Structure formats: C-alpha cells, structure tokens
Amino acid sequence: MFFIETRGNDGQHPDKVSFSEAILAPISSFGGLYSPQKLPELGQDFLQQHLNASYKTLAAAVLSAFEIDIKSDIIEAALSLYDNFDDPNNPVPVVKVKEDLYVSELWHGPTRAFKDMALQPFGTVLSSIAQNRNENYLILTATSGDTGPAALETFKNKANVQVACMYPAGGTSDVQRLQMVTEDAENLKVIGVRGDFDDTQNALKQLLASDDFKKTLKEKNIHLSAANSVNFGRIIFQIIYHIHSYLELLRQGAIQPGEKVYLNVPSGNFGNALGGYYAMKMGLPVEKILIASNRNNILTSLITTGTYDLRNSSVVTTTSPAMDILKSSNIERVLFDLFGSKRTKQLMLQLDNEKHYQLNEKELETLQSIFAADYCDDEEGKHYIKAAFNNGYLMDPHTATCFKAYDSCRDKALKTIVYSTAEWTKFSPVIANALTGEVDSHDLDALHSIAEQAGIKIPAMIKGLFDKEIAQKSIIEKDQIEKEILSFL
Ligand SMILES: *Cc1c(COP(=O)(O)O)cnc(C)c1O
C-alpha cells in the first residue's frame, strides 16, 4: 500500500511513499498530508472471522490488510504494549450506559487518555524504523495536556528518538503536568512555557523557522518528525478500536451481524473521528458518525452548514481542553477522500490565505450523508456528567460532549458507540464541580471528593504521581525555548 498527498504532487516530492516514509516525514507537497491511496476492504466476512479474536489479533489483521512495510516481528512487539493496559485481554472495554448508548473506553493505558491507543504502539514502530535506517529523530510536541504524557511515555528510553515536549505552565491539570514532569529519561526534555497553549504552539512554530535550530539539527544529524495526528502512523492504530467496539456490541448480543450503529466521537484534531470514517469506508456497518465539539464549534458549523470560517473566531478555553482547537487538521483527509486532491488543495489554500472556505451544496450533502454534529458548552457538559453519575456512570468532560450529540443528532433508534477519551482522574476539578458544586479545588482534593462520592478508590498510579520526584524542572519564557532545546540536544 502506498500513501499519496492530499493536495496533489508538486513534482519535487515523490508522488507516492511507503508507510514508513509517510510516518517519518509526514509533511508533503503544498503542506498536504499523506493519506492511503486506496483503503483495504474488510467486509462482513472479516468481521465474522474476527468475532472472537483478541484485540491484538484483530489489530494485526487490520494492519496486515494495509500491507504496510513494517516487519511482522516489529508489529508484534508494538501491539504487545496493549498488554500493559488494565486488562490485557480487553484493553478497550465497551460498557452499556443506557438504552442505546454504549461507551467504548479508550483510556485504560498508562497515561489514562485515548492518546495511548495509538502512541503506545507508534513509539515502537517509529524507533524501529529509525534504528533500521541508522537515523536519529527529534519529536517536538506542544501539548495541551494529553499528547505530551503519552508521547513521553512511549518514547522513554527508546533508541534513536529524542522528545522535547512543551506545555503551557499553569494551563494543564495537575495530573497532566505531573505525568510529564516526573518522567525521567536521558532522551526526554519537558519544558513549561509561561503563557497559554497558543503561546506554546507559536513558540514551537518560531523554533521550527529558526536558522540556528535547523543548522544544529543538521550538524548533529538529527531529523524532525511529529507525533501528532497529522502523522498517519497514529491514524492507522485508531481504525482498529472502532472495529473492536462494533465486535464487542456483537459479542454482547446488542446488535445482529450487519446491523448499523452510530459512532459518536468527541473531536478536536479529528484523528479519532477519521479512524471511524476509515473503518466505515472499509466496511464497518455505520449509519453515521456523530461529531461532538465544545464551544470551539467549528466542526459543527462545517458539518451543518458547509462553512469553515476562522475569521473573527479565536479559541475559547473550556473544560474539555483537548478539544479547544479551531484548525482541525484531519478534516483535510476526509475532504481528500471525498472530493479529490485538486479540490482539497483549493479549499485548504483558501483556508490558509483567506481564513475560510465554503463547500458547495452537493459536497455538503455528501458530507452530511456520513457525519452529523453538535456542540456542548461547559454548563451542559456538567449537567451530562452529573446525570450520568446519578445513573452510575462516571465520565470526563470530553466524553460528556458526546451525550449532547447522542440526544440531538440521531434520527434512528440505533445502538450508539460513544468514545470515552479520558479517565475521570485527569480532569477531576471539573467533575467534582459538576457533582458537588465545589469550585477551584486542586486535583488531589477533587480526586478525593469524587472517589468518596462514587465509593471508589483513586487509582494508585494517579495517587502516586503526587509523591514522585520532579525530574523536569524547566519553566521558561517563550523566547527562551530555542536556547533550552539546543542545550538539550
Ligand atoms: C486528543 C483528545 C481528544 C480529541 O481527539 P482528536 O483525535 O484530536 O479529535 C478528545 N478528548 C481527549 C481527552 C483527548 O486527549
């Protein structure tokens, strides 16, 4: 299988690349993204055959259908990381919460958010490719709180890869910060930047444009790569759990073979939703994919009106910070798959230059035959958290946004799979506020308060964070980033 570019080829870049090339250098002609040339078709037989397969067996079969250029022993090693999840036999439990609503819990990995689903195996894959090529890679990430811990965890002590991770000092939850600053390994550098997530991201962009920085990388023979979801190496692992969740519903007797379901995804950069889209294209019986947003509701506008408009809009801070995004990168791969590279290039260049684009009527109709969308503000989110809690289900604020879309976007009474992207422990102050009205509590107080309300224990791995030694102490102004990273390299 080859990968081609969403904005077409410029005659400079290769016109198609292998999987390993696509994940090492994910930026292509005209700033487009690498996408599969053709998706494998799995169909009903595949689902039937894998009805009782373990997660790892299913994953290996899906990956093998993509015919990627990664040796099977490396894939096996990568997938074995799912053994570190809470239940090695079922890393992604699917729980019935009410009548038609099932929650697929994607957060049972080491950093308690769904980023582990892809980043855990991705770390092994990337490091193996780098070793085979005898090359060294630097992963630079700016994180709002979940990608950072997951990237650090997966690349810790891995050969031929270094990670420099920047987070907004004061802009993450205590648990997220502690997950990062307690990571102690030679190849990891964590830097708190004074400012908000936008400041952190802008500082990273400045760094990437710096000549000194480029020169140093060249001298030291270090290549740059990315661990965010523009990297197809992450997306491929995010197709698997959609298929797994469907099979779980079959196994639980909730649906019959071939029966359609809704997938309901809390979306930011659209990696998770894109995995669902690909699974649907590969033959998973899906009625529609429901896209849930918070007040940064640019995806809701796109899917309900066909307009993507960044003019006069700026990111607002919400209680679901991993979805505080206005430039949702992976939409581009959907546009490409539906409308081709010529149209995608036109739309994306218009977005870059004029900050908006508008789909035509036919395109909008096509988009709406696959997606529906709604957004949920913080107050509504708290209401859903509390209501679910009273029904016996504890969930985080990102997951809560889906419950609104479940109420408003379905026009058939089909079973719905809501994707839960974080454990309650990562966003405890918001949840404690929803449950008891308490405000401004620190994570540790909120964790205790929720645990008491719910009659459960704070998981040891989370509690332990508060006693761990701080290994990463840098907190700097954004104009100091270059110096700080050069000294790390
Ligand atoms: C990253 C993240 C999301 C958004 O996922 P995308 O793939 O970027 O759409 C939602 N919830 C949580 C908790 C996350 O960490």
Q: Could you read off the pLDDT of 314-329 as tens digits, one per residue?
A: 889 999 999 999 989 9
Residue 281 CA, ligand 1 centroid: distance in Å:
22
- Among 437, 435, 425, residue whose Cα is nearest residue 396: 425
Q: What is the pTM of this model?
A: 0.96
Q: What is the largest CA-CA distance in the chain?
A: 62
Residue 270 CA, ligand 1 centroid: distance in Å:
8
The atom number, within ligand 1, closest to the CA of 115 reads 15
What distance in Å separates the CA atoms of residue 6 and residue 156, rounded to the nearest whole number? 32
CATH topology of domain 79-113+233-467: Rossmann fold (3.40.50)
Pocket probe for ligand 1: among 106, 108, 114, the residue whose CB has the most ligand atoms within 8 Å is: 114
Crossing angle for the helix pair 397-409 and 428-436, nearest 10 degrees?
60
Does the pLDDT at position 391 exceed 70? yes
Q: What percent of the chain has pLDDT over 70?
A: 100
What distance in Å separates the CA atoms of residue 392 and residue 149, rounded to the nearest whole number? 29
Does the pLDDT at position 202 exceed 90? no
Does the pLDDT at position 25 exceed 80? no
The atom number, within ligand 1, closest to the CA of 268 reads 9
Residue 130 CA, ligand 1 centroid: distance in Å:
27
C-beta of residue 91 within 8 angstroms of C-beta of residue 106: no
- Among 234, 232, 231, 171, residue whose Cα is nearest residue 201: 171
Region of 416 please: left (phi>0), alpha (psi -120 to 50) or beta: beta
C-beta of residue 432 within 8 angstroms of C-beta of residue 144: no
The atom number, within ligand 1, closest to the CA of 146 reads 15
Alpha-carbon distance values, 415 to 50, 192, 216, 286, 472 (Å): 20, 43, 54, 10, 45
As a whole number, the mean pLDDT across the chain is 95
Does the pLDDT at position 27 exceed 70? no
Does the pLDDT at position 227 exceed 90? no
Q: Could you read off the pLDDT of 109-124 as tens digits, one per residue?
A: 999 999 999 999 999 9
Q: What residue's CA is closest to ligand 1, atom 1?
A: 322
What distance in Å separates the CA atoms of residue 307 and residue 297, rounded to the nearest whole number? 12
